[in-house]
Copies of this chain bind each other. A is one copy, B any other.
Amino acid sequence: MTKIEIPQEHPRAESLRIREKLVKHFKSGVVTSAGLIAHGRGEAFDYILGEKTTKPALKAIEAAAATLLTAEHPVISVNGNVAALVSKDIVELSKITKARIEVNLFHRSSEREIAIKKLLEETEATEVFGVGEAASARIPEIGSERRRVDPKGILIADVVLVPLEDGDRTEALVQMGKKVIAIDLNPLSRTAQFATITIVDNIVRVIPTLIKMINKLRTKDKRKLDNIASSFNNEKNLGEAIELFHKRLAKLAKKGVYLPILEVEEL
């Protein structure tokens, strides 16, 4: 495949750079082919959304920050796409929240686990859970290899951040009594519907914003933080996110603006 030069001024430069990053980590064994397809789905949603953090997303990020700050055992679940796109930010997030990082994959293989662990360690993760024999516990009601969790990680977590997650697993974690924070560009997905807090936004924008929000809220007392978390209504927030999607489509349609990213320009 020809290496595509991305000119600085290209209107799609940022999106193309993200894509290049993913393709690079696909080659290194961190990302799967299914992960590439999933990324394309995300691109489409993000484009409709306008590729920016919306008000409902910001509200969800605030609730997520308060929830992480008041958690006893927060865990960040990491898969191939997450590691490829935001490993550095994930490590910083884990440090400021004392959250453990656990690798959890649908397509589990030793090679991939190790590649992801290595990537996280290169960005200065001090400990990575859930790799190899460490994932010795099982959570109920999930068919895939994702059921394998680390007894020192997801199994005992009260709050789990699951960026780019599947619906079955989100549901299973919620049924185990855990608070689940999901990041999903599709507000209509099962993940979005099942999670305690759903952030409808692109992970590359979410994690840095979440870090800022945590640093802003960390001086607040527990009561204030509990209040932020408990006053958040996920259903209502999702409704607002969905509303934004179709408002934006209507607006684009009216303006006749085209969305160049969504072309299949590089087949």
Contacts and interface: CB of A to CB of B under 8 A. Distances in A.
Interface stretch (A55-63, A207-215, A223-231, A247-255): A247-255
Given A39-B40, A246-B253, A263 B191 contact: yes
A113 interface: no
Interface residues of A, number: 65
A189 B262 contact: yes
B81 A267 contact: yes
Nearest to A261: B41
A40 to B, nearest CB: 2
Contacts of A39: 37, 40
A235 B262 CA distance: 18
A79 interface: yes
A239 B257 CA distance: 11
Nearest to A170: B263
Contacts of A265: 38, 106, 166-168
Nearest to A242: B253
A106 B167 CA distance: 35
Contact of A258 (B80, B106, B145, B188): B188
A80 to B, nearest CB: 6
A267 to B, nearest CB: 4
Interface stretch (A27-35, A93-101, A125-133, A152-160): A27-35
A188 B42 contact: no
A135 interface: no
A259 interface: yes
A108 interface: yes
Contact of A264 (B41, B193, B249, B262): B41
B188 A259 contact: yes
Contacts of A186: 44, 259, 262-263
A267 B43 contact: no
9 contacts: A2-B107, A36-B36, A36-B37, A41-B43, A41-B264, A81-B264, A167-B265, A188-B253, A188-B262
Interface of A: 1-2, 19, 22-23, 26, 31-45, 79-82, 105-109, 145, 164-168, 184, 186, 188-193, 239, 242-243, 245-246, 249-250, 252-253, 256-267
